[in-house]
Structure 1
């Protein structure tokens, strides 16, 4: 049976999470609030942006300007243009995985497309891009993955999810899909059937053994 591979984007395909959080640091600095990009990354990896901003604004007692998100997106787009790189080993891994593939992300579609284009990954996925902003479902809700699977023409049992954060891992696991956790930061995963790996060099063999 052919399997469909469903990839997260930020931190799984492209090394973008530090840049996204640097954008938060830059924008909150304008409000007089000092944040640390590394700490933000570890705390909020995979979260819906609105939830991150809601929590930070409550923590520091600030009301974000109406154009804050748009300006943040612009800052991140600039950082992507100058600094974004693919995750180490991902191109070689994708070259060895010729089957159907899609990107399933909590990020907006234009950000996903920009990231894939800058990193030379667009041709691996074509138009198979599923954004939480378009679907109206955010990880860790598993419905984002079941939606993508159905739209790709696959049952959940025939899909493999590749994620780098616990929010996405939870979504894949609860969607009833074999989930592979690219665990760059050696986090503890509570879901028993999730397979953890540390480098993209391992990915093709892991997938082909499923």
Structure 2
């Protein structure tokens, strides 16, 4: 394995413990228009995907008449919840404080949501504006476009990048980009379970374990 020169973090469910909040707001907003779904449905169909993909899935399934302004209302309701309830995933801030290599974010979230999420959670200072979103590429996850774009912007070969994801689409994107993939399963939406992907990927559910795991991935190099 090549040495790792860059860590690419997914945002929702990896940096911030947001997926349960996002699911509950989606469920509530759909309920207002007479559409009933639950958390398992959200996890199966929406986790790790951009909103345009989510909207397409809704319109082709349970909500064929999804209102044109649904995205605007959903995002407003979600950011309102984020303002008071959003937190980093447990133990992450200490890990970020001690990293000594370049890092960035590659997320399916909108630029506004990603930026505000990192500000609210106190994590923005760690990334120096290196936050890349699905809006900057033609195809979102599980396509490799966003991972490849992030690596190009950071000047690092994907082969020398570690991508940390919580979703199957994100892990498939990392593998397709020929990056090193690592699954974080410590978000409140995962409850220790692993993403369902058709290949082996190392996983962890506690950020306290990350330095040792990273050292193993580096072939013994210190974090």
TMscore range, shorter length:
over 0.9
Q: 1: distance between equivalents of 2:162 and 2:4? A: 11
Q: 1:61 to 1:118 in 2, by over 3 A?
A: closer
Query: Counterparts of 2:150 and 2:74 in 1: how far apart (Å)?
Result: 27
Aligned to 1:198: 205
Q: Which moved more, 1:100-109 or 1:59-68?
A: 59-68
| Alignment partners' CA distance in 2, 1:189 and 1:2 | 23
Identify the range of structure 1 (151-160 vs 41-50) with the bigger mean alpha-carbon deviation: 41-50
CA distance in 2, matches of 1:63, 1:2: 46
Aligned residue-pair number: 209
Q: For 1:133-156, what per-residue CA distance to the aligned partner results, in whole angstroms no more than 9, with x for missing partners? A: 123330111121111101101111
Task: Deviation per CA, 1:114-171: give whole Å up to 9, x if none.
Answer: 1111111011101101001123330111121111101101111111111111110111
TM-score by length of 1: 0.92
TM-score, normalised to structure 2, is 0.87
Unpaired runs of at least 5, structure 1: none
Which of 10, 13, 35 is the aligned partner of 1:11?
13
| Structure 2: tracts of 5 or more residues without a match | 219-223
Q: How does 1:1-210 map to 2 (within 5 A)?
A: 3-184=5-186, 185=190, 186-187=193-194, 188-192=196-200, 194-209=201-216, 210=218
Q: CA RMSD for the aligned pairs?
A: 1.7
Equivalent position SS for 1:162: strand
Distance 2:4 2:31 in 1: 49
